[in-house]
Amino acid sequence: MGYNIGLIPGDGIGPEIINEAVKVLDAVADKYGDDFNYSRLFLGGASIDAYGVPLTEETVAKAKEQDAVLMGSIGGDAKTSPWYRLEPSKRPEAGLLGIRKALNLFANLRPAVLYKELSGACPLKEELTEGGFDFMIMRELTGGLYFGERKTYEENGIRTAMDTLVYNEDEIRRIAIKAFETAKRRNNKVTSVDKANVLDSSRLWRSVVEEVSKDYPGVMLEHMLVDNCAMQIVRNPKQFDVILTENMFGDILSDEASMVTGSIGMLASASLNDTSFGLYEPSHGSAPDIAGQNKANPIATILSASMMLRFSLDLAMEADAIDRAVAIVLEEGYRTVDIMSEGNTLLGTKEMGDMIAGKIKR
């Protein structure tokens, strides 16, 4: 069957890792007889260079025609890149926020998984992580501080800036439903994270999440304050199944969670709306310092492609094949530099892509 896939190579290591994901997708298409039609979309710095703005209407329109979009990464080095001499609303990140909003991608799923082959890279003490951990952060992605009114102004000659954190109950309800639905397919626990001891938006969050939980009697709900959650992720990560939280808290906690796994180069993510459409991307950033050096780990992007096949294209068999190929390559001891340890075999970005694609062809 034919599928339309949008590709956003983006900036930094983005183009390299997307190339490897496409290699793997092509191997899958070959073996299973699928027909993937790729369209290249511009976003972030690449779009600024081509069109002067980080997101064009054409990109939004083209994205809407796709069954799903796979993204590498966007953004550059804020100290040296000319993109960061532009005003904030014209920088690469603004393009990413713009496409999330334009496509209504309100649910951001970020898994934090400790791979057993890579447990040596986990910075936590072994006794805390024995048996591994596997939780999912469900981050609200189109509301809160990221999209509230903001301004910088002077008050009595003093420079002042303001950002606002707004949520309405509908926005909270729809992301809460996604979290409970996800927990139902996992281990039946939702930890809703907020700052209800201080923020009105968090108190509303808590009460709407409570309402939604009534429809999911089989799923256990607990509330946790965000500062405590930041601590619990390093103290006892095994306690979590699905962490449900607002946009800014989710941004911070998901970086923490991915670091704790010791394998940020391995973690995929999905941003979904109310249809089967999704935007899939690795959890890591654009790593401009190693761009173009064939050093980046393409696995997070390859696993994002697998997530895309599973969730947006309904191709579970193909997705399983990718996941299996990645597992075999890790078992056989192949590593990119970020996850390298003694006794294993070091591969570059391209060689890792070849290796994984090769396991699918067999």
List active site positions: 146, 195, 227, 251, 255
Q: Considering CB distances under 5 to 8 angstroms, the limit depending on partner class, which of ligand IPM, Mg ion, none binds residue 193?
A: none
Give, as ranges, the residues between 255 and 314 that touch ligand IPM (CB under 6 A).
none
Query: At closest approach, how far in Å is the CB of 93 from ligand IPM?
Result: 4
Query: At closest approach, how far in Å is the CB of 164 from Mg ion?
Result: 20
Q: Considering CB distances under 5 to 8 angstroms, the limit depending on partner class, which of Mg ion, ligand IPM, none binds residue 54?
A: none
Q: Considering CB distances under 5 to 8 angstroms, the limit depending on partner class, which of Mg ion, ligand IPM, none binds residue 75?
A: ligand IPM
Q: Determine if residue 205 is left, alpha or beta; phi over 0 gives left, psi from -120 to 50 gives alpha, anything else beta.
A: alpha
Q: Which of 117, 251, 318, 338 binds ligand IPM (CB under 6 A)?
A: 251
192 and 209 Cβ atoms separated by less than 8 Å: yes
Kind and range of the H or E element at 82? none
**Buried/exposed code over 114-143 (b: 16+ C-beta within 10 A; e: otherwise):** bbebbbebbebeeeebeeebbbbbbbbbbb
d(CA 17, CA 97): 21
Closest CB to Mg ion among 303 and 355? 303
Closest CB to ligand IPM among 95 and 262? 95
Closest CB to ligand IPM among 129 and 286? 286
Query: At closest approach, how far in Å is the CB of 144 from ligand IPM?
Result: 11
Give 318-322 contacts, CB < 8 A, sequence gap 24+: 318/28, 318/32, 318/34, 321/28, 321/31, 321/32, 321/360, 322/24, 322/28, 322/356, 322/360
Contact between 246 and ligand IPM (CB under 6 A)? Answer: no
Contact between 71 and ligand IPM (CB under 6 A)? Answer: no
DSSP-assigned letter for residue 334:
E
Contact between 75 and ligand IPM (CB under 6 A)? Answer: yes
Query: At closest approach, how far in Å is the CB of 254 from ligand IPM?
Result: 6
Of the candidates 311, 314, 139, the residue with the CA atom closest to the CA atom of residue 242? 139
d(CA 62, CA 70): 13
Query: At closest approach, how far in Å is the CB of 247 from ligand IPM?
Result: 7
Encoded tokens for 160: 């002042």
Closest CB to Mg ion among 10 and 353? 10
Q: Is 19 helix (H, G, I), strand (E, B) or coil?
A: helix
Query: At closest approach, how far in Å is the CB of 75 from ligand IPM?
Result: 6
d(CA 45, CA 136): 29
Sheet holding 107-113, edge to edge: 35-40, 2-10, 68-73, 278-282, 268-272, 107-113, 134-140, 242-245, 189-194, 220-225
> Which residues does 342 contact at the CB level (< 8 Å), separation at least 6?
none
Closest CB to ligand IPM among 76 and 237? 76
Closest CB to ligand IPM among 75 and 298? 75
d(CA 285, CA 72): 9
Q: Considering CB distances under 5 to 8 angstroms, the limit depending on partner class, which of Mg ion, ligand IPM, none binds residue 96?
A: ligand IPM
Closest CB to ligand IPM among 27 and 99? 99
Query: At closest approach, how far in Å is the CB of 164 from ligand IPM?
Result: 17
Of the candidates 137, 235, 152, 234, the residue with the CA atom closest to the CA atom of residue 193? 137
Q: Considering CB distances under 5 to 8 angstroms, the limit depending on partner class, which of ligand IPM, Mg ion, none binds residue 224?
A: none
Binding site for Mg ion (CB under 5 A): 251
Give, as ranges, the residues between 174 and 213 that touch ligand IPM (CB under 6 A).
none
d(CA 253, CA 193): 10
Q: Considering CB distances under 5 to 8 angstroms, the limit depending on partner class, which of ligand IPM, Mg ion, none binds residue 318?
A: none
Interface pattern 83-122 for ligand IPM (x via CB under 6 A): ----------x--x--------------------------
Number of residues that bind ligand IPM (CB under 6 A): 4
Q: Is 108 helix (H, G, I), strand (E, B) or coil?
A: strand
Of the candidates 358, 362, 295, 299, the residue with the CA atom closest to the CA atom of residue 117? 299
Q: Which residue is nearest to ligand IPM (CB)?
A: 93
Binding site for ligand IPM (CB under 6 A): 75, 93, 96, 251
